[in-house]
Amino acid sequence: MEKKLNQDKIPAHIAIIMDGNGRWAKKQGLLRVAGHEKGTKSVREAVEYCAEVGVKNLTLFAFSTENWNRPKFEVKTLMKLLVSSLKKELPTLQKNNIRLNSVGNLDTLPEKARLELEEVIDKTTTNTHMTLTLALSYGSREEIKCMVQSISKKVKDGEIQPEEITDQLINQHLYTFDMPDVDLLIRTSGEQRISNFLLWQIAYAELYFCDVLWPDFRKKHLFDAIYNYQKRERRFGKTSEQL
């Protein structure tokens, strides 16, 4: 029997740690950056597939706060690749009614990358089919630190009382303030760690680790991840009988 996705159980928010570009390139005897270039095809496929099956939010970990510590040449190439991909993909985003969004400390991006990003975000702002969020210069601890700082300031200024700090208020002060919690977190390349990605937002996400290196990640792998997710029982602390 052909396996099919259950349309009633499509995750509302998928987040992907796109890992393994460097190892993919090394395996082919190429420079690491060739893996990043190849990885852009997998990005396009993941975006297309999520839009096709009705995922409303897709968040991609593209560059972490820790990734600034990589060799200069690699960082520079990644930033260039970001600019060229944004330019190239704008028509596809428009055609598929996809809104671009970003999370992270965007002030640290090179000006060219930041401006290009802002332009595409601006041009796609009224699109409604899906939100594609790029995590760029993103670190979850930094995000949490900023949230604590801005809430503390409001408490100090008497705008809010400490008792008024709720989950909802915390959410409102994160970069992801307008997004639902992550339902399914995927990491490619066989590594089984979170690497400072969306720590608050994945509190009850289903985790899916697969061995495929990101440049080899095709639509069928994403299908497998969603299919696997749909077979799981999400209990949120309750018992099976209560669901």
Distance of closest approach, residue 67 Cβ to Mg ion, in angstroms: 9
Contact between 19 and Mg ion per CB under 5 A: yes
What part of residues 18-47 is at the interface with ligand IPE (CB under 6 A)?
18-23
**φ/ψ bin of 119: left (φ > 0), alpha (ψ from -120 to 50), beta (otherwise):** alpha
Q: Which of the residues 6, 8, 21, 67 is marked catalytic? A: 67
Distance of closest approach, residue 118 Cβ to ligand IPE, in angstroms: 20
Asked if residue 89 lies in contact with residue 121, where contact means CB atoms within 8 angstroms, the answer is: no
Distance of closest approach, residue 23 Cβ to Mg ion, in angstroms: 8
Binding piece for Mg ion, criterion CB under 5 A, among 17-25, 45-53, 109-117, 235-243: 17-25
Asked if residue 170 lies in contact with residue 187, where contact means CB atoms within 8 angstroms, the answer is: no
Q: Is 19 a catalytic residue?
A: yes
CB atoms within 10 A of CB 221: 20
Q: Which does 215 bind (CB under 5 to 8 A by kind): ligand IPE, Mg ion, none?
A: none
Indicate if the alpha-carbon torsion angle 170, 174, 179, 185 is positive or negative: negative
Contact between 127 and ligand IPE per CB under 6 A: no
Q: Which does 142 bind (CB under 5 to 8 A by kind): ligand IPE, Mg ion, none?
A: none
Q: Which of these, 202, 96, 105, lies nearest to 146 by C-alpha position?
A: 105
Element (H, E) at 94: helix 72-95
- Exposure string (b/e) for 73-82, b if CB count within 10 Å is 16 or more? ebeebbbebb
Task: Work out which of 42, 57, 59, 64 binds ligand IPE, going by CB under 6 A.
Answer: 64
| Number of residues this chain uses to bind Mg ion (CB under 5 A) | 1
Question: Residue numbers of the site for ligand IPE (CB under 6 A)?
Answer: 17-23, 61-64, 66-67, 78, 189, 191, 193, 195, 214
Catalytic residues: 19, 67
